[in-house]
Each structure stands twice: as structure tokens, then as C-alpha cells.
Chains A and B, each alone.
Chain A
């Protein structure tokens, strides 16, 4: 009995000492000391953040990117700090950054976790939340512009994107909306639903999602749904994986089963390179144009 009492008292004393000695609240970032100095080394942990940094003219200051930041081409030559899902904190520290820009919770907890850990070491880190729709994109550009003191370039970038989008909107407003299905996976059949930013881009491109509202963002749908939704166009992204020729071949085989779907009958199945569509970044206008070309190709033939 005695040894249990000793053990219990040892634990209690240990815990109390822990609360007394150590700082048990998370260290707040100390922004005052760090943000005054000029930011000359930036690390980006996501491909769309890298694109924004390049678009703001910060190419020289980028000290590290993740392995999936492949646009623009010179981004791939920057030092590698891991990949999007598992950034390497040692490589980040070794690169001596003045600012680390990450995405955040709740969509990307591992990035939030990285940002918190870096903040504990008094690194200046900017976490961008909510990159789920267009207005988030403009918020992100503004935030990054403010922190890096490139507000002018940020405003220019945002205005440029808005202008391009307006031009496309005007162009496609002539005809009525085209029903489109954005298929992200064939087996099981999954599509982009109504509360995704892909849906937002489809609507800007003059289309209408053939699927109605669903709980899931990328719902699996049944064959019956596919037939009843009567979609005019099917768009499939390459997701950077296979070459589009292979996908087209297997696509012909796969979709030929559903002959009564208007998209299959009229052979309007398009395989597109999707890096401007699936990542919400400065090339969003290009993505919208890509989709618009699939939906209303005649408008672009001029």
C-alpha cells in the first residue's frame, strides 16, 4: 500500500512542478519584434500561395517551396522544403525565413500545426484560412500584399483577375446556361457538387452544375443520377496524373455505356489540365476560360 501512496504523491508533485515551472499557455507570436524588419526570405507551403507570391513580384525573396509548386516554371527551381502534406520543419528552419505563409485549420490541420510550431519558435508565420471561394482568394491576396508591403501590386493583381473574369462573363452571357458535370473520379463516380469553388467557376463560365444541392462537396453519384441529370457537357480533370491521351482512351470506353446522356451522344466530353481550376490561385481566370471553352466553344472561335 505504501508504494502506491509514494507513487501517487510523486505524480501529483511532478504535475504541480510542471504547472509552476513551465509556460503552459502557448507562446503568443511576438510580432512587434519581427514584422518591423524587411521581409527578404519567404517560404510558401502551398502551390497557390507560391503563385500569388510570384504574381506580386516577390520571386527573389522566395527561399523555399513545397515540391508541388510547379507554376511558374522557375518555382520548381526554388529550394525544396517537403511536400504540401508533410512540410519538413528542419528544412524550413535551415532556410532562415523571415516569413512563412501557410494554409490553415480546419481544412489543412497539418499546415496549421506547422504554423503554430513555427510561431512557438518566434518565426513570423502568416496563416491564410478559408481558401474555398473567390472572395477568399481576393482576401488572401490582400493579406499577403499587406504583410509583404506590396499592397499596390496586390490591388493590381486583384483588379486584373476581376477584369479578366468580367470579360469572360460578358462573353458567355449571350447564350443560355449549359448543364455540365465535373467528374473528379470515375470509380466510384464522384462529381463536384454545388458548394465547391469549382461550381462557382462553372457558373462564371456560363454553365450550370447538372447535380442539385448535396451535403457532400464531392458526392459520389449513382448511374441513375447520371442519366437523369441530362448533362450537356462532361469535364474531367487530369489531376496531374495520367497523360490526357490515356484518359481520353479510357474515357471513350467508360462513357460509351451511357449513350443516352446528351454529353456522350454529342461527344462533348473534355479532359482538361486542371491546375488552374483545382487550386484557387491567380490563374483562376484561366481556369474559368478553360471551362468556358468546353461549354461554349463557338464563342471562342473568333
Chain B
């Protein structure tokens, strides 16, 4: 597929992807522990003051949850693409630069201290996790800067060190915590998607979408960056500005995703690769399509997670790993013959 990417083609592919997303959302919203169908959802109840439970489940439980899964999936997949581009490392995922341990530390501090302050009614765990994630990633950034501008290795090493340090602190706090607090922390960190208030959904959708659009704006520069910082500079790209913008936006949308749903692994690592294998490494196509694919993937995984062992639920991170792994292997086998870029 060595044709040039035109605006029309890109637009068409994005529209097609969005249509698939809408269909998937509709299907997922009708699957769940309680059997409902579109007819029962909209049926009027005999007594006017009682609530139709199917209506409640559909509109208040399932749709918000699926919507949240789409937002989180899109955020994680997109930031995965960006981190892989900036760090020029195919194993990079959104959590590589300390976000996972930062969020974990924030979570366990919130649970142990038992503070019940929340901003605008959001749970204190989410707030602390957000602060932990954002704080840690900027700490890693500044430590990496000390190793030299545009020094990718320095950044990665700083991430590893900060991760290790914070993990040790987390282990210490775990050892003095009560067992229920440990369980609570583990369950939160395993990744959970629940329904949120519409205000929260509105804000996170807005911020995430604008983040993805911002990343789309710098996608031509990301294309140039993937040849190497020196080559990109020689093409006239301002590498440090691109890296800073990409880093800041990806950090923000990942922190939002983590504070809403805990640490859901695999999406940020595998979806970018999957999309890259099928559609090629051009970031102008990669960023929007990974976002939409990430949304579809996580919505489907979450639906599976809440139905497969009903009425209990699996943490969604388990489903993404188990389902994503073999599927990705399949893609890998089929497409590496077509596109030889991995063998570079």
C-alpha cells in the first residue's frame, strides 16, 4: 500500500472507523447480566411513578460505562502511539515513564490516610491517583532533562529509577496497611470501569478528544521524529518543542484515563502496534485510528469482563491481556509478510 495519504482518504477511513465504533457501542449496550432489549428499555411502566429498571440499566449503567471505556481506550491507545514515537521504542506504553507507580502511590496514600476530601464529588482516590500520575511523570521529565535535552535514553532510565523507588514506597505502605485496604488498592489498580456522572464524562471526553486532536496536529513532526532526532532536526523540525507537546498532552490524557479507571494494561502497547501493522506507520493516520480502535477494543473487552463470570466481574485488565495477546499475534503473522518494516 505505497500510495500517498490524501485528505479525502483519511477522512473516509476515520468516518468508517467511527461507524464501526457506534455499532460496537450499540451491541455492547445490549449485552449484560440482565437481559434487556431496546423494546423493554423504552416501554412505559404500568404505574407512572415506578422506574423501569431496564431503562435505568441501559441509560444509567451501561451507556455511561461503555462511553467511559471508549474514552479511556482512546486515551491510552493514542498516548501509546506518542510515547512509542517520542521514545523511539516499540515496547513503550503509556505507563513506562512512572505513571503506573505514581498512580499506585497516590491510590494507596488515599486509601490508607482515609481522607474523604474529594473535589466536586469525585472520589479522593481518583484525585490522588491523578496527582500521583502527573507529578511522577513531570518528575521523570525533569530528571531526564538533567541527562541532556532530547536524550531519550536518559528519560527511559529516569523512568525506570523513579518507578523502582516509588514501587518500594508502595511496598512499605502495603506492609503497614490493613488487609482490606490492600485488597481495595489492588482492585483499584487492576483497572475498573464503572459508570460515572455525566459531568465527569463530559469533561473527560472534552479533554481527551482535544488531546487527541492536539496530537494529530503534531503528527507530521512525529513522522519525522521516527527517523531519529538528528534527521528530524535536519529537516527543520523543532524536536524539543514536538517532544514537549507530545509528552505533555500524552501525560495529561493518560493521567485522566488512570484516574478514571485505574491501570488498564495492554491497550496502550498493543493497539498502536496492531493499527500500525494494518494501516502503516504514518502518524497522521495512526493517531486518529488508534484512538478509535482503542475505544472499540476497550468497550468490547469491558463488555466481556462484565458478562463472562456474571454476576461477578473480571478486572478489565485481565481481559485486555488475554484477548489482546493472541489477536495481536495473529495480526503479526499475517501482516509482517506484507510490510517488512519490523525487520529494519
Residues of A within 8 A of B (CB): 3-4, 7, 10-11, 14-15, 18, 21-26, 67, 80-83, 85-86, 88-91, 93-94, 96, 105-110, 113, 116-117, 120-121, 215-218, 220
B187 touches A110 (CB 8 A): yes
B199 touches A22 (CB 8 A): yes
- The chain B residue with its CB closest to the CB of A114 is B194
In the complex, per-residue mask of B99-121: 1 if CB is within 8 Å of any chain A CB, else 0: 00000000000011110100011
- Beyond A90-B33, A110-B188, list 15 extra A-B contacts (CB 8 Å): A4-B217, A11-B207, A88-B311, A88-B312, A89-B195, A90-B32, A91-B33, A94-B33, A106-B111, A106-B181, A109-B111, A109-B125, A109-B188, A216-B176, A217-B179
A-chain residues with CB within 8 Å of residue B56 when the two chains form the complex: 93, 121
- Given the interface pairs A14-B206, A96-B53, the reply to whether A117 lies near B195 with Cβ below 8 Å is yes
Check if B145 is an interface residue, CB within 8 A of chain A: no
A-B contact pairs, 21 of them (CB 8 A): A4-B214, A4-B217, A11-B206, A18-B206, A26-B121, A80-B311, A86-B312, A89-B61, A90-B32, A90-B34, A90-B61, A90-B306, A91-B34, A93-B34, A94-B34, A107-B184, A109-B123, A117-B195, A216-B175, A217-B178, A218-B179
> A38–B313 Cα gap in the complex (Å)?
32
Chain B stretch 21-74: residues in CB contact (< 8 A) with chain A? 32-34, 53, 56-57, 60-62
A22 touches B194 (CB 8 A): no
> A105–B180 Cα gap in the complex (Å)?
11
Check if B4 is an interface residue, CB within 8 A of chain A: no
Check if B202 is an interface residue, CB within 8 A of chain A: yes
Check if B5 is an interface residue, CB within 8 A of chain A: no
Counted as pairs of residues, one from A and one from B, with CB atoms less than 8 Å apart, the total is 116
Check if B279 is an interface residue, CB within 8 A of chain A: no
- Given the interface pairs A7-B214, A93-B56, the reply to whether A86 lies near B184 with Cβ below 8 Å is no
A-chain residues with CB within 8 Å of residue B213 when the two chains form the complex: 7
A246 to chain B, nearest CB (A): 23
In the complex, per-residue mask of B174-203: 1 if CB is within 8 Å of any chain A CB, else 0: 011111110110011000001101110011
B116 touches A106 (CB 8 A): yes
A-chain residues with CB within 8 Å of residue B181 when the two chains form the complex: 106-107
- Given the interface pairs A14-B210, A93-B56, the reply to whether A86 lies near B61 with Cβ below 8 Å is no
> A81–B32 Cα gap in the complex (Å)?
13
The 5 closest A-B pairs by CB, nearest first: A26-B121, A106-B114, A14-B206, A88-B311, A22-B199
Chain B stretch 74-88: residues in CB contact (< 8 A) with chain A? none
> A160–B57 Cα gap in the complex (Å)?
42
- The chain B residue with its CB closest to the CB of A107 is B180
Most buried by B among A25, A93, A120: A93
> A259–B74 Cα gap in the complex (Å)?
61
Most buried by A among B194, B214, B311: B311
> A113–B123 Cα gap in the complex (Å)?
8
B-chain residues with CB within 8 Å of residue A80 when the two chains form the complex: 311
> A66–B59 Cα gap in the complex (Å)?
25
> A122–B306 Cα gap in the complex (Å)?
23
Check if B161 is an interface residue, CB within 8 A of chain A: no
A109 touches B184 (CB 8 A): yes
Check if B310 is an interface residue, CB within 8 A of chain A: yes
A-chain residues with CB within 8 Å of residue B60 when the two chains form the complex: 121
B-chain residues with CB within 8 Å of residue A108 when the two chains form the complex: 180, 184
A183 to chain B, nearest CB (A): 14
> A216–B174 Cα gap in the complex (Å)?
10
In the complex, per-residue mask of B119-136: 1 if CB is within 8 Å of any chain A CB, else 0: 011010100000000000
> A218–B198 Cα gap in the complex (Å)?
41
B313 touches A93 (CB 8 A): no
B311 touches A82 (CB 8 A): yes
B330 to chain A, nearest CB (A): 31
A34 to chain B, nearest CB (A): 12
A-chain residues with CB within 8 Å of residue B310 when the two chains form the complex: 88, 91
Chain B stretch 302-332: residues in CB contact (< 8 A) with chain A? 306, 310-313
A107 touches B203 (CB 8 A): no
